[in-house]
């Protein structure tokens, strides 16, 4: 949406010939910026409640840097996910203010603080040390979208006492993201302890018959704890987006 | 938890020797009723926010009737899911007040109106006519848990105008459950239109390479619409529980 | 092995021309009875530690009855597994003393009490009511092989308190068989609580992405609880054989 | 087919002892050139409507260069697909006129303009930026076969407005190739908008439960939009051949 | 679209205040009839080039009869696919003029002859006798959409001479649908013989490692004959729709 | 091939204008009888070494009876495989001389004794009683094609002594067909004992993770006994054809 | 558990105010050390019968070294599994006493001899040379836990005589671990020879349809030798833990 | 078998106290050489008809060189398969006379010409250029075992004329090995043309839904050409062993 068009629109609102709701509706669905290789969605936040995020995997450093620069030019915060270290090394120097997190494989640049009206704290529970990249991707995303976040890591079901020792923290969360590889049983156990939304994230951690996370995914989909919902294998970002939407007042 | 034990507990609260929080905590985790073939969880609602529900599939009429009777005796509402018509015909006459819905394959008996403090209306969107049993299982569950619910059916992505014609209804829902078989694309499209939580339910509708709902499940797990969460194939009940927890104020 | 041959063998042992060990060895590996459609292994118990058992699935009533009769004629106890009700109705009247258990789908006839030198009690833990047929197949097999057995049913991981309420019973077992369908997480949790052998039995209980027990099987194979071993889906019999061998002094 | 043989054949046509149709028929099915490691089909265009194309994957630089040189010697245009950059670097200097496209991974050399009698323009629609290599392989192939081609990229179903903004372009195409990874829903939506042939190309873009493009493939095969046909994962070339055959007058 | 609305629209066209193209565009995308369990698309033919077809599988006789009646009331021809014999026996008496074909499992009622401007004849080639139901579903659909159709059955690749004996018929078709189960190799062979569009339909014919048609599906997707496109297993209808769109002048 | 055409052909041979080899070649590839639903291959034996066999599965009683009658009319022996009991009950009375074997699910009618020049005896080895239908299908096929055949049943690898007791019989066979379900290990063990061709036939016998014979199939394909070849699950017929071709002198 | 807390506990036991059993129970379930990225379980041996072991795969050298150092500080023996050579090269110099085994990919440091009350010798049987890494992982683990261990390698079922030549050694073992890739048949054969517990370990050795060990895994799960239990593909460690628990007196 | 033992055995034969058959039998099953990491089978040729072959994949250069040296020391020819170029570069210099073929990935050293009594020529047919490594592995193996061999390459089913042009060569082979990737249809077509044994070898050539050769494998297993047998994906060696056994007089 060009500044001119937006100006004209607002003028009509000001003049009373367009209601604010109608204006909002128009702004929600039209605008994107055609970069040839991509159509950048500057108004995604208005429409679906969270801003355009750059999925780094499979994109060249050039493409990522261009998209990040255009978002910043539009006054948006930047979040890049699935950005490997090599690409990040090329992108970061070209985008002032961009900060890379090697564990979470994310890059962020905050130009205006995200809105913060939430129901409470989102808790990220992870079964093992090797699940951290996925858990931290969720952490960075939740942070970028303005949620209070806490972490509870290495509490797999084969040592229940480690989980139960943190029961206070668990039951007081507003939304829970539970990250687990291997048999993926942790979300079932956690969902049986709380009365708040629980989102399971299977990870590709494991070997042999874990089939790259399929065992964990099936474990969560077939959970005997009703009410658990699930996202794709290793999709810490998607779980964080869902948790953020739920947590938004 | 026997009435005596509960009485003693409350007496201690009354006497000030037990704080209400401690009492609640004790009540939450202990009690179940051992029926031999099952351990009935009378206090599930206190712990996880929704009452014990009877999963009918694979249970005999005898087992279902006994469980329903025990729940009623405990003063709980009854919801039986996945109850086929033949078993229902045996169970219903034995449980006064139980009502069977042949499309949703549920039986319900409401003895006290469910609490009704919700954020708004849950909307169930279904792609095709043959997805109705799953959609209606979700409907009955949401209703039983006290949520306002609306339906929007037969709006598959191959005829977008049928979906877009109901856009008002879609964007004003508080939580959305989107039910689809075959390619399972509908939740992606819906999640791209709203800023509220969307839960996808793949169904086993289809043939050939739908593999009993696997195609739809994979479609939803790999959605390009971030924030979509997913439940097991045909699990209308699970989606409704998740939506109900999210929708609870 | 014909009686004559056995008599001759024993005569040589008696005469000191054959050591008892050598005689045992010969007896162990040679004898079977060729029935045309089957080669009945009368000395399996000597060789692998448990007697020939009749796998009923896919066999005609005629074949089952013949095999049972031949085993009885050889002085062996009879255990038939996977015997559906229809076939059982034909077989039982033809084999005096045979008793059918419709839940476990087994038929047994005990002519001499099984040896009873064991390390202790085998505990069968089952996640849900619908897992009972598999759990009871294990029960009947353990019983037939002379083990003390206990049951602990309907203690799924979504309601941990029901499991933990029986912790005494769990930690005092000598061997544990843990039966679970759906996500198959129960064996992981149990194996994290005890220092005795735990055998997981996935069941085909579930729907959708449970894929007839595959989800539970993968859950157990990928357990984060090291030391858990697994048998085929619904194979209560196999788990019981393994437990019995371990439990034998 | 040796020049001599072709000369003799044409002499017979000229003399009226062979009808042109009979001559064409003979030319269609016989000739190929045996290179030892390959049998080069010089007359494929006559038989199936498009010339022999070199599939570069798994071939050595030597083999590719030899095949390209032989095709040029036969007076044919050259199209190499699935040619990785390393092999291309060896092949290109050895084949005068060959041009490599690193995104499409194709190499082409046009010695005579392809015939151009078509029904209209083929439109390539791609869901995301990372689908470009497959889309561009289709583009180069369509171009090589003489079709007018247009591109419409980054119009995934989670932001329908980006697609609908180009509806004019979509409905005026003569044939459509729709390229999508992840859930592969875009072809269903596009096929619901037009009355022209739509060919879906699933791509291996994605992670986790996308299973290297299987999710997208299943999504397209199970499309609720009847009339959609599908090719193998990442097979931009195959889709372009099919579209070219359909588009040929 | 209500008659009134259509009348007003046409009045504006008549008055010159709306161009015919704009009117057509509006008519194309809006109208459907909400039957509660379904949204009947009366103008599908205008939009995607073929009329609304009733997919019978999973629908009750009541639903099918209602939909057929509503279509007839709208002046449309009726085609029901995947209609099993039992449902057909209930539906046919309730819909005057409806004719059932037990092999193809279709029911049709033609009230106005379909438009007939085509490029030529569609040829349906089937590998074996057991592929007939799928081939005949395609036949009935092509017929219903106004295409000249021919059949060539039982010409599997293990007896090439049976196929090659009909080469004239094969090369003179305008579009070819090739139906095959088991290894699904026939479409590859046929596509190597012609220069016209070939659509492969894998069938679920086979046993063991045919996995309900997966072997045939994979065979066609991986065809070495470029340009072959594929539809879902047993989807004779979808292939016919695609062929019909291609064949339409 | 019409009688007239055959007569003319033979006349040319008689006159010395056609060599016998050329005549044989022509007879081999042309003739089939078009029955509409099938193209009956009367000369298959000449071409591939075994006569046309009727695959009964998925065919109506009418189709089977017609095909059998036409084969008999052509002077050929008849073998029908995969003929279920219900269809057989309809077919047998209509085809004089046809004999049904309920275990093998075959029907045969021998009008001229099959040629009998073989290298020796084919031995069919089967792991268990429930593998008999597949083993007997192979038996009936081998018999129909004129091979001496022997059987060795119920010699699974968990009781090696039962197999080794028949080692003489095993090593003296000319070709071996080894039939096994469950883990499918028997062919590996047998192939390690002999220096003759071994063909493995996986069966669908098993449950749970046998996946309808996939476990046995994979076991045989991955055999550490080099030289073992494999056919489809339950394909006793195919194994017998292969063994018969190998065994033919 | 801090030294202070442990001291206080023991003081109460000494004073007779806490029974030894109660003290043991408390010690068993509470203590772990929170390292941020991991919760180190210092008392696992008390609870499940074997000490905390470090799973090296997916951990950084830093994390492994820290965990090993903390375990040593707690007076525990150290066993690291799945430690690749590169990480080992960084870890070993930082942890005094740590010894790396490149075949088994384990690192060990023994500070106090493990308890040695066992039932006998554990025998590790491996089918082929390429199965050695998995077999040796089991060997190092069994050794670390104080079991007498023997090896029997390269005795695949295609050359039974190599296996049978060691029958004495096989039948005298107390527990057997049988490691095999490809078709995974060896455990079935071994389990048919002995009356002691047999644990099968499928390996990822193979190619093509071995699917990374799936063929071997399925072979073992579907074994006709009842009583065989199985662990995950390549999980030599898990098999050794199970064997060790069984072997412990 | 030690020389002494062999000497003694032969002495008994010479003395007439042992029949030659009995001696052969004893020699067949006993001897192997225990190298620690492997048990080398010096008499495999006597038992199963082809000598011990070294499977190079997963073995170290050291292990391969040791095994080759030991075989040569025993007077056997050496064939190493699946030997990658890097390992070969280390092995070849250490084993005098060993020759490496980089396409077939085999190394051979012939010290005595293999026996040559065969039924005829084995023909290797390959569908495409990229199937050559597998076809050549078969070629080298057949050659090593003393068979006359011919090649026919790049004759895929999409250009039948290339195959049919060599029909003479095809029908005159004694055994045929048909190698194909992608859809794997070539063996079906070839088996329909000949009356000799045909062995299909699926290759991992392809991409996308070829799933590393699974599509080709399934195509061959489900072939409509009865009598085709199949080996594992890429198993040119196994096909050659089977062909060699069949071809041996």
Provide the pLDDT confidence category of residue H237 given band limits of 50, 70 and 90. very high
How would you class D73 by CB atoms within 10 Å of its CB: exposed for 0-12, middle for 13-18, buried for 19 or more? exposed
Q: Are A30 and A42 in contact (CB under 8 A)?
A: no
- Tell me what pLDDT residue F1 has: 42
Question: Per residue in E74-106, pLDDT tens?
Answer: 888 999 999 999 999 999 999 999 999 999 999
Provide the pLDDT confidence category of residue G2 given band limits of 50, 70 and 90. very low
Query: Per-residue pLDDT for E5 more than 90?
Result: no
Whole-angstrom distance, CA of residue B131 vs CA of residue B155: 11
How much of chain A, in percent, has pLDDT values that exceed 70? 86
Provide, as residue numbers in chain B, all residues whose Cβ is less than 8 Å from the Cβ of E217: 208-209
Provide, as residue numbers in chain D, all residues whose Cβ is less than 8 Å from the Cβ of B222: 182-183, 206, 208-210, 215-216
Chains in touch with G (≥3 Cβ pairs < 8 A): A, C, F, H
Average pLDDT over every residue of F6-11: 63
- Tell me what pLDDT residue B1 has: 43
Which of H48, H191, H225 minimises the CB distance to F195?
A: H48
- Tell me what pLDDT residue A233 has: 97
Question: Per residue in B183-209, pLDDT tens?
Answer: 899 999 999 999 999 999 999 989 999
Between C236-247 and C132-144, two packed helices, what is the crossing angle to 10 degrees?
A: 40
Provide, as residue numbers in chain C, all residues whose Cβ is less than 8 Å from the Cβ of G230: 221, 229-231
Angstroms from A179 CA to nearest CA on chain B: 14
Per the rule left: phi > 0, alpha: psi between -120 and 50, beta: everything else, C146 is: left
Q: What is the mean pLDDT of chain F?
A: 88
Nearest chain C residue to G190 by CA distance is: C48
How much of chain F, in percent, has pLDDT values that exceed 90? 63
Which of D217, D229, D245 minimises the CB distance to E196?
A: D245
Q: How far is CA E185 from CA E150, E189, E190, H174, H185, in A?
A: 21, 7, 9, 25, 5
Per the rule left: phi > 0, alpha: psi between -120 and 50, beta: everything else, B138 is: alpha
> Between A156 and F126, where is the model more confident?
F126
Provide the pLDDT confidence category of residue B10 given band limits of 50, 70 and 90. low
Tokens 């119009």: give the residue.
D155
Question: Per residue in H44-67, pLDDT tens?
Answer: 766 666 778 999 998 999 999 999
Chains in touch with F (≥3 Cβ pairs < 8 A): C, E, G, H
Size of interface E-H (CB pairs under 8 A): 115
Provide the pLDDT confidence category of residue E122 given band limits of 50, 70 and 90. very high
Q: Are C203 and C213 in contact (CB under 8 A)?
A: yes
How much of chain C, in percent, has pLDDT values that exceed 70? 86
Do E162 and F217 lie within an 8 Å CB cutoff? Answer: no
- Tell me what pLDDT residue B55 has: 93
Provide the ipTM.
0.87
pTM: 0.90
Provide, as residue numbers in chain D, all residues whose Cβ is less than 8 Å from the Cβ of H154: 37-39
- Tell me what pLDDT residue F153 has: 94
- Tell me what pLDDT residue G7 has: 60
Q: To 10 degrees, the CA torsion angle through E6, E11, E14, E15?
A: -140
The alpha-carbon radius of gyration of chain B (Å, integer) is 20
Average pLDDT over every residue of H127-135: 93
Do A238 and B246 lie within an 8 Å CB cutoff? Answer: no
Find the distance separating the first CA and the last CA of chain G, reported in whole Å: 28
Q: Are C233 and F208 in contact (CB under 8 A)?
A: yes
> Between B15 and C200, where is the model more confident?
C200
Do F44 and E132 lie within an 8 Å CB cutoff? Answer: no
Q: Which of D45, D16, D19 is nearest to D31 (CA)?
A: D45
Average pLDDT over every residue of A88-114: 94
Whole-angstrom distance, CA of residue C218 vs CA of residue C183: 9
Provide, as residue numbers in chain F, all residues whose Cβ is less than 8 Å from the Cβ of H226: 50, 53, 237-238, 241
Q: Are E102 and E82 in contact (CB under 8 A)?
A: no
CB < 8 Å & 24+ apart, contacts of H55-58? H55/G130, H55/H81, H55/H82, H56/H80, H56/H81, H56/H82, H56/H83, H56/H84, H56/H87, H56/H105, H56/H107, H57/G130, H57/G207, H57/H82, H57/H83, H57/H84, H58/G129, H58/G130, H58/G205
Find the distance separating the first CA and the last CA of chain F, reported in whole Å: 29
Query: Per-residue pLDDT for A45 more than 80?
Result: no
The helix (run of H) or strand (run of E) holding residue E21 is helix E20-29
Size of interface C-G (CB pairs under 8 A): 97
Beta-sheet pairing, C175-180 with C198-202: parallel
Angstroms from D151 CA to nearest CA on chain A: 10
Tokens 């669905």: give the residue.
A29
Handedness of CA E206, E208, E209, E211 (dihedral sign): positive
For an interface test with C, the pick among B58, B210, B217, B218 (most C C-beta atoms closer than 10 Å) comes out as B58
Question: Per residue in D40-87, pLDDT tens?
Answer: 776 666 666 677 899 999 899 999 999 999 999 888 899 999 999 999
Whole-angstrom distance, CA of residue B80 vs CA of residue B71: 11
Average pLDDT over every residue of H112-133: 89
Do D155 and A234 lie within an 8 Å CB cutoff? Answer: no
How much of chain B, in percent, has pLDDT values that exceed 90? 63
Q: Are H182 and E222 in contact (CB under 8 A)?
A: yes
Which of C39, C213, C214 minimises the CB distance to F162?
A: C39
Whole-angstrom distance, CA of residue A43 vs CA of residue E141: 45
Size of interface B-C (CB pairs under 8 A): 53
H-type helices in E155-206, by residue range?
160-164, 167-171, 186-191
Provide the pLDDT confidence category of residue B226 given band limits of 50, 70 and 90. confident
Between F3-14 and F20-29, two packed helices, what is the crossing angle to 10 degrees?
A: 160
Question: Per residue in B24-39, pLDDT tens?
Answer: 666 555 557 777 777 7
Q: What is the number of other CB atoms lying within 10 angstroms of the CB of residue A189?
A: 27
For an interface test with F, the pick among H32, H142, H227 (most F C-beta atoms closer than 10 Å) comes out as H227
Do E218 and H221 lie within an 8 Å CB cutoff? Answer: no
Do B207 and E37 lie within an 8 Å CB cutoff? Answer: no
Helix (H, G, I), strand (E, B) or coil at D118: strand
For an interface test with B, the pick among D163, D183, D188, D232 (most B C-beta atoms closer than 10 Å) comes out as D183
Provide, as residue numbers in chain E, all residues whose Cβ is less than 8 Å from the Cβ of H215: 215, 218-219, 221-222
Provide, as residue numbers in chain H, all residues whose Cβ is less than 8 Å from the Cβ of D30: 161, 165
Eight-state DSSP code of residue C115: P
């Amino acid at each position: 949406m060009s500044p001119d068009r937006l100006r004209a629109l607002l003028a009509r609102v000001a003049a009373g010939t367009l209601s604010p709701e109608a204006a909002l509706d128009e702004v929600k669905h039209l605008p994107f910026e055609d970069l040839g290789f991509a159509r950048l969605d500057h108004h995604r936040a208005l429409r679906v409640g969270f801003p355009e995020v750059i999925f780094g995997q499979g994109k060249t450093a050039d493409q990522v840097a261009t998209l990040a620069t255009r978002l910043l030019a539009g006054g948006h915060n930047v979040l890049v996910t699935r950005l490997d270290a090599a690409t990040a090394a090329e992108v970061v120097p070209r985008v002032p203010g961009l900060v890379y997190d090697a564990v979470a494989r994310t890059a962020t640049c905050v130009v205006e603080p995200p809105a913060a009206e939430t129901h409470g704290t989102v808790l990220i529970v992870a079964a093992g040390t090797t699940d951290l990249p996925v858990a931290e991707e969720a952490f960075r995303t939740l942070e970028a979208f303005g949620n209070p976040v806490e972490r509870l890591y290495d509490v797999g079901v084969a040592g229940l006492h480690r989980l139960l020792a943190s029961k206070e923290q668990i039951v007081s969360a507003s939304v829970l993201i539970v990250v687990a590889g291997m048999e993926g049983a942790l979300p079932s156990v956690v969902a049986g302890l709380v009365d708040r939304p629980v989102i399971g994230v299977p990870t590709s951690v494991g070997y042999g018959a874990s089939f790259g996370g399929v065992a964990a995914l099936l474990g969560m989909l077939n959970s005997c704890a009703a009410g658990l919902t699930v996202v794709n294998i290793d999709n810490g970002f998607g779980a964080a987006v869902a948790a953020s939407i739920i947590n938004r007042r």
